[in-house]
Amino acid sequence: MPLSPFMGDPCGQLWAQTVSKWRARFVAHRLDGLGDAPRPGRVRTVTDEQVAELVRLTLETKPRNATHRSTRSMARRAGMSQSTVSRIWRAFGLEPHRSESFKLSTDLLFVDKVHDVVGLYLDPPERALVLCVDEKSQIQALDRSQPVLPMMPGVPGVPERRSHDYLRAGTTTLFAALDAANGKVIGSLHRRHRTAEFKKFPAELDREVPAGLDVHLIVDNYGTHKTEPVRRWLLSHPRFHPHFTRQSVCWSPVPVVQLNWIAPRPSQTALYVLRPYQLDVGRLVTIRQLPAPEVVPLD
C-alpha cells in the first residue's frame, strides 16, 4: 500500500518515513521492536541503585558537624558530583536546607472549640454581636537618631532616606475588638499589659455596644483573659459570652491579620497599629505622648 507524506497522524505531522521505520521494527522484532533503541552519546554512569542510595542517605542520615547536608557534602559522601546530587534532589523534590514547624493540640475539647468558634463566624446568633478580641503588646515608640531626608523632586532613584539606628521611647499595648461581620473596630491603648488593663477593655465594649445586643467574644488562651477579676466581671455582665480558642494551637484572629505597617511621613515614627487607626504619633519622646485611638462606633 502506498504511503502518503503524512500518513497515520490526524494532525498531519507524522511523516511516511517514520511510519515505515516503526513498521519494519515491528515486523523484525515484534513487540520488543517498539521499545526505544539505544541512542548515541555518553553512557549513563549513575544507576538506579545509586539514586536510591542517595535518596536514602538524604532522608535517613545527618552529618556529624552540621544540621543538614549540602549538595557538596552529600556529593563527597555518595561519591557523585555536586551537579548530579543537585539534579537528583530537584527530581525528587528534596530540600534538606528547609524545615517547618508543627504543633499537635493536646486540648481534649479541641473539636468542640473548633465547632464553637467556626460556628460563630459562619452562623452568628440573632440579636448578638461577634467580636474577635486580641492585643498587640510591646509596640515600640521609636525615634530616628537623625532627621529623615525626604525624596528629592526631579532626581530619579532617590527615595526617602532615614538613619538605620533609632532611639527607643518606651512601649505601649493595643487592645482591639473587630466585628467579623462588617470589619468595624473598637480599640484602646494602654501603657502595660496586665489584668487591670485588659479588664478595662470589656467595660469599654459594654459602653460602645448597644444595650439590646449580646456580645460574643472570641479570645485566645492568654493568661490575662482568664484571671479571677476578669471572670467576676464577665459573670456580672451576663450579655458577654467568652469563647476561648483551642489550646496549644496557633490561632490567627482577624485583628492580628489586619496588623499593618503604617509608613511614616518625614520626621515621624511608625508603629505597628491596626489599619483603621492610622495613628499619627509624631516623633515620640515618651509613651505619655501617645494619643487615644479613634473609637469606631458600632450601629
Give the confidence band of 257 by pLDDT, cuts at 50, 70, 90.
Answer: very low
Distance of CA 71 to the CA centre of its chain: 29
Name 135's bridge partners.
175
Q: What is the DSSP string of 46-85?
A: S-HHHHHHHHHHHHH---TTSSS--HHHHHHHHTS-HHHH
Q: How far is CA 32 from the centre of its chain?
A: 53
Grid cell for residue 68: 543538614
C-beta of residue 147 within 8 angstroms of C-beta of residue 106: no
Please determine, for residue 43, whether its predicted confidence score (pLDDT) is greater than 70. yes
Q: Which of 79-88, 121-130, 272-281 has the highest mean pLDDT?
A: 79-88
Q: Which residue has the higher pLDDT, 91 or 45?
A: 91
State the pLDDT at residue 175.
Answer: 86
Q: Looking at residue 4, what is its pLDDT?
A: 47
Q: Which DSSP state fits 288?
A: G
- Residue 150, pLDDT score: 86
Q: Is the pLDDT of residue 208 over 80?
A: yes
What pLDDT score does 117 carry?
86
Yes or no: domain 110-149+162-289 corresponds to CATH 3.40.50.720: no
Q: Give 98-111 pLDDT, tens digit per residue.
A: 888 877 778 888 88
CB 105 within 8 A of CB 113: no
Residues 6+ apart with CB under 8 A from 53: 78
Q: Does residue 264 register a pLDDT over 50? A: no
- In this predicted structure, which of 83-97, 172-186, 243-257 has the lowest mean pLDDT? 243-257
Q: What is the pLDDT of residues 2-33, one digit of tens each?
A: 444 444 455 557 788 888 888 888 898 888 88
What local confidence, expressed as pLDDT, does residue 276 receive? Answer: 33
Could you tell me the pTM of the whole model?
0.55
Distances 214 to 125, 126, 201, 229, 238 between C-alpha atoms, Å:
9, 9, 16, 21, 8
The arithmetic mean of pLDDT across residues 119-134, rounded, is: 88
pLDDT tens by residue, 226-240: 899 999 999 999 999
Domain ranges for the chain: 16-92, 110-149+162-289
Of residues 72 and 176, which shows the higher confidence score? Answer: 72
Q: Is 251 left (phi over 0), alpha (psi -120 to 50) or beta?
A: beta
- CA dist 3 → 8, 225, 274 (Å): 9, 84, 75
pLDDT given for residue 215 in this prediction: 92
- pLDDT tens readout for residues 128-159: 999 888 888 887 777 888 888 888 887 777 88
Q: Which has the closest alpha carbon to 198: 212, 208, 187?
A: 187
Q: Residue 221: pLDDT above 80?
A: yes
